[in-house]
Amino acid sequence: MKNQEPMKVQHVLIVLLLAITSSSCINIFEDIFLNKDGSGRYELRFDLGAMMNNPMLEGLMDEFGSDSTAQEEVNIFGTTAEDTIVSMLSIAQEAGQTVDRPEFWKDVMMRTKMDEESGEFYLKFTVPFAELDDISYFYENFQDYMPADGENEMFGQGGVLPSALSFTLKRRELTRSTGFGGASEEMAEMDEQEKQMMSMFFTGATYETVYHLPGRVKNADFPNAAVNGKDVTVRTPLLDILQGEADMDGSVKFRRR
């Protein structure tokens, strides 16, 4: 893995965003690593590995543009792997944006990886947090610092990500509250043909969250929760979420150790 200047990863990121907003071959993964004092690390990953041998990628590259330099840097169809990491602060500053809480965004890292040989293709955010409210702050603001050319339909109203996400911790009980900003309302307004296309589009896509707790789990009331020691895994079909037919909210109680 290599660290790169923000503008050197823009082409890779834009192709990833186009892929995410143009394909059902997507799985979303969240990991929450919680410490006893309420601090920890939040990770969000968009996995598009299923697209690596998909002809759609070539179409995305055509949509992205015919710039030979961009094609060379992205190198999707060659043998060279692309693996970059950069801070969100650097991306925003490179774009000339004024950044609120720069000390926070300096530690928020964005990793993009495309490797045709291994089949890895993903976009990942790593967010260290001093308190759980930092995760809410990240969700409320991080789309503002993404490259505009990425056409970030995956964020906010109607997107594949929650428009709001919050956690609270009280007496070794972690509680989650999630909002999807009207995605289900938008789908409800579609005609039958549009709904069928949307269903085909997201069939097989999943949204998986793993809670890594500082003590063994006593009880987890998330739907479809699977408990393994200090970890809780919740896997939900993405289409169910977007149709408003799934509930991602709940809580988990854990022991001291």
pLDDT at 156 over 70: no
What percent of the chain is predicted at pLDDT more than 90?
38
Owner of token pair 């299923």: 50
pLDDT score for 124? 93
pLDDT at 4 over 60: no
pLDDT score for 195? 66
pLDDT score for 79? 37
The whole-angstrom distance between residue 39's C-alpha and the CA centroid of its chain comes to 20
For residues 81-92, give the mean pLDDT. 87
pLDDT score for 235? 94
Q: How confident is the model at residue 82 (pLDDT cuts 50, 70, 90)?
A: confident
Residue 39: enclosing H or E segment and its boundaries? none
DSSP conformation letters of 136-182: HHHHHHGGGGS-GGG--TTSSTTSSS-SEEEEEE-SSEEEEEEE-TT
Q: List CB contacts of 99: < 8 A, sequence separation 6 or more.
A: 89, 92, 93, 105, 145
pLDDT-wise least confident of 132-146, 183-197, 242-256: 183-197
pLDDT at 150 over 50: no
Phi, psi for residue 93 in degrees, rounded to 5: -65, -40
pLDDT score for 39? 98
Secondary structure letter of residue 51 according to DSSP: G
β 120-129/109-115 pair status: antiparallel
Which carries the bigger pLDDT value, residue 163 or residue 182?
Answer: 163
For residues 181-202, give the mean pLDDT. 65
pLDDT score for 140? 87
Q: What is the pLDDT of residues 12-65, one digit of tens each?
A: 454 555 455 444 567 899 999 999 999 999 999 988 876 665 555 555 544 544
pLDDT score for 61? 46
pLDDT at 69 over 50: no
pLDDT score for 175? 98
For residues 135-144, give the mean pLDDT. 89
DSSP reduced 3-state for 230: coil
pLDDT-wise least confident of 123-127, 137-141, 200-204: 200-204
> CA-based angle 242:40:152, to the nearest 5?
35
Which carries the bigger pLDDT value, residue 160 or residue 250?
Answer: 250
pLDDT score for 65? 45
Query: Please, is 34 exposed, middle or buried when counting C-beta atoms within 10 Å of its C-beta (0-12, 13-18, 19+)?
Result: buried
pLDDT score for 134? 97
Average pLDDT for the chain? 77
At position 168, the amino acid (one-letter code) is T
